[in-house]
Structure 1
C-alpha cells in the first residue's frame, strides 16, 4: 500500500500527479472498527469489480484535537496502526490529509472540486452519517449533487452489533470501563498499543517480576486502570504477558501519571529502547492498594498464572 501525505493546497498538485481513476472511501476512521471496515471493504469490493484503484482518505491530526472541541481523549488507532490495518484490508493507496485550521474552512464545493475530483475519484464511498466541509455543512446527498456527472456516491448503512450502532465513542467508553471483551468485539480485533521500553523504578525485578515500562509512541486512549492479559509482539516474536496499567498505589501515596508495565511470561532478556506492540486480550482485575509487599507479590503471581491460562 502506498501512503500519500497531503497538505491542502500546498502539496495537492504533487499528490495528483500519476493518480489513476479510483474508488475512494472517505472518513476519519479512528478505531477502524467494524463499522469503518464495512465502508472501506465496500470501496475495495467496488474497486475490484470495476478495475479501479482502491483508496482511502483520512485526516490527521484528529479534527477534535486541532479545533479543541469536544472531549478528545486520544486515538484508538493512530496513523501507523491505521496504515498496517488498511494494507491488510487490500487498500492500494492511503491519502492522509493534514487537518489544520485552513483545511477546516474549506467549503463543501471546494472539498469536492478542488480535492476529490482532481484525485480522479470516480466513486466516493462514505458512511450514512458522513459530513464534510466547513462546520460539517455537507452531507452525503450534497456530495452526490456536487459530483454529479463525474463522481458517483455509495452510502454504507450503519453497522449494527446486537442491535446497536458500532461507534468509536462507545468503544472508548467500553475501554475506560474495563469492558475489554465487548470493545474487542466492536473493534473486530484486540485493542493494542505500541511503546518503547524505558527505564523505570526497577522495583519489579527486586520482587521477582521484572517489567518492561512503556513510553507510548502515540496519544492512545487510556483504558481502565488494572491488570491485563496481553500478547506482545517483539520483532518477529509473539510473547505472552501480564500488564499493569495504573499508578502503583501500594508504593505511591500521591497521584501520578498512569504507567504501562508489562511482565513477559516467556522471555528473559534485555529490551531497553526496543519497541513492543501490546494487544490487550483480557481484563483480569482492577488496580488496588495492598497492605504489604508480600500480599502484592502473591497477587502478581496469581495474575501471571491467570494470564497464562487465558492466553494458552
Structure 2
C-alpha cells in the first residue's frame, strides 16, 4: 500500500499526485475516525469495486479532523489550527496511523492523508471532486449515506449525485452500512452507575413518553448507531461492550509506560502507568478487563509505526513486526485489568490525584519491565466503578478479584475469536 501526506497551500489548493497514466481510481473520502463497522462497509465496497474494474482503491483521509480545525477557529478568532498545537486531539478515537494500518488490512491501494485546513474547507465540493477526477483519475466515488463535503458542507449525497449525472465524469455509489439504524446520544454527561458489570442502556425498558422525556432532558442527538459519535458516547458511559460491538473489535488506547508511585508493586500487583500523552479516546473512569500489548521501546515502536503507515523502504519489515506483536497468542500480549481513575484509596485530606490510566498485566510469575516501552491497551469489558477502600489490604483483595475476572473474560474472548 502507498501512503502520501498532502498539505494544502495557503489558498487551500492541494497538489494531487498522478497515481497512474493507465489505471483509474475508485475513491472514498472522510476522517474514518475509529474505523468502525460503518467505515469498513464503505471501504470493503471500495476495494470490491476497484478489483472488479481493475482500478486503484484510494482513500482520502483528513487529518486533523474538520471538527477539530473548525472548533479551534471558533475559539481563536477564525485562526488556522497551528502545526502540532494542541499535540493531541481528546475527541479522536484512533490515531491516524492505526486507521491506515486497518485500511491496509482491508486491501486499500493508496491512502492520501490530507492536512485539513480552513482554506481547504472553503473550496466548493464541485471544485474538490473535479480536482479528483482530473488528477487521480476518479472513476467512482464511494460514500456512506450521511456524507457531505465542501464549503458549508452543502455537497450532500443528493447534490453529489446530481453533479455526477450532469457531468458524466464519475459515478457515485452510496453504501448502506447495514447497521441497526439510528440511536440517541446524550450531549449531557451521564454518570456511570455505581455497580459492577457493563452499564445498561439508560433507555432500555422505557416507554415512548419516558424515552421522549429522557432524550429531551439530556439534549440527545439522533445519530447512526454505527458512527464515531455513538462510540464516543458509549465510551463516556463505560459501555465498553456496546462500543466494541460498533467498532467490531476492542477499543484501543496507546501510550508510553512511565514511572508511577509503585503502590501496585507494593501490593503485589505492579501496574504499567501510561503517560498522559497517549493516543485514543479515554473511556469513563472505572476498572476494565482487557489486554496489554508491548509494542517495544518507545523510539523503536514509534519508528515502526511511522514506517508501517508510510511508503518508506522499511515498511514491509515494520508491518510484519507490528502485526506479530498484535497477533492473538503473541508473547507480547497479556490479559490485563485496567484502571482509569484518581487513586482515591491513597488520597490524603486536601489532596487530589490527576486521572491516570494504569494497567496490570496478568503474566503469571513473569516480571514485566515495560518502562520506556510503548504499549497498546485493548478494552474488553467494564468490571466495576472506582471506589475508595479502607486500606491497602482491602484494595489488594479487590485487585485479586479484578485480575481473576479479567483473566476469565480475556480467555473467553480469545476462545471466541
Quick check: TM above 0.5? Answer: yes
* Distance in 1, Cα, partners of 2:181 & 2:142: 25
* Distance in 2, Cα, partners of 1:217 & 1:56: 28
Tell me, what secondary structure is at the counterpart of 1:99?
A: coil
TM-score, normalized by length of structure 1?
A: 0.92
Task: Quickly say closer, same or farther: Cα 1:8–1:250, change in 2 above 3 A.
Answer: same
Unaligned runs of 5+ in 1: none
Q: From 62, 65, 68, give the equivalent of 2:65.
A: 62
Task: Quickly say closer, same or farther: Cα 1:121–1:218, change in 2 above 3 A.
Answer: farther
Partner of 2:40: 37
* Number of equivalences: 311
Unaligned runs of 5+ in 2: 75-88, 184-223, 296-324, 326-331, 412-417
Partner of 2:203: none
Displacement of 1:216 in angstroms is 5.5
Q: Is the 8 A contact 1:125 1:155 kept in 2?
A: yes
Displacement of 1:9 in angstroms is 4.3
TM-score, normalized by length of structure 2?
A: 0.70
Partner of 1:258: 355
Q: Is the 8 A contact 2:60 2:114 kept in 1?
A: yes
Q: Is the 8 A contact 1:75 1:220 kept in 2?
A: yes
Tell me, what secondary structure is at the counterpart of 1:160?
A: coil
Tell me, what secondary structure is at the counterpart of 1:304?
A: helix
The answer to whether the aligner puts 1:241 opposite 2:333 as a matched pair is no
Tell me, what secondary structure is at the counterpart of 2:174?
A: strand
Mapping of 1:177-196 within 5 angstroms?
A: 177-196=237-256
Mapping of 1:134-173 within 5 angstroms?
A: 134-147=151-164, 148-161=167-180, 165=224, 166-173=226-233
Partner of 1:80: 97
Displacement of 1:194 in angstroms is 0.9
Instruction: Summarize deviations over 1:104-143 as a string: whole Å, max 9, x none.
Output: 2111222112345312111110111111011202112322
Task: Quickly say closer, same or farther: Cα 1:13–1:162, change in 2 above 3 A.
Answer: closer
Partner of 1:24: 27
Partner of 1:92: 109
Tell me, what secondary structure is at the counterpart of 2:94?
A: coil
Q: Is the 8 A contact 1:242 1:303 kept in 2?
A: yes
Q: Is the 8 A contact 1:12 1:115 kept in 2?
A: no
Q: Which has the higher strand share?
A: 1
* Distance in 1, Cα, partners of 2:53 & 2:113: 24
Alignment RMSD: 2.2
* Distance in 1, Cα, partners of 2:103 & 2:19: 22
Tell me, what secondary structure is at the counterpart of 1:117?
A: helix
The answer to whether the aligner puts 1:102 opposite 2:102 as a matched pair is no
* Distance in 1, Cα, partners of 2:95 & 2:370: 24
Displacement of 1:262 in angstroms is 0.8
Q: Is the 8 A contact 1:194 1:217 kept in 2?
A: no
Q: Is the 8 A contact 2:254 2:279 kept in 1?
A: no
* Distance in 2, Cα, partners of 1:123 & 1:290: 59
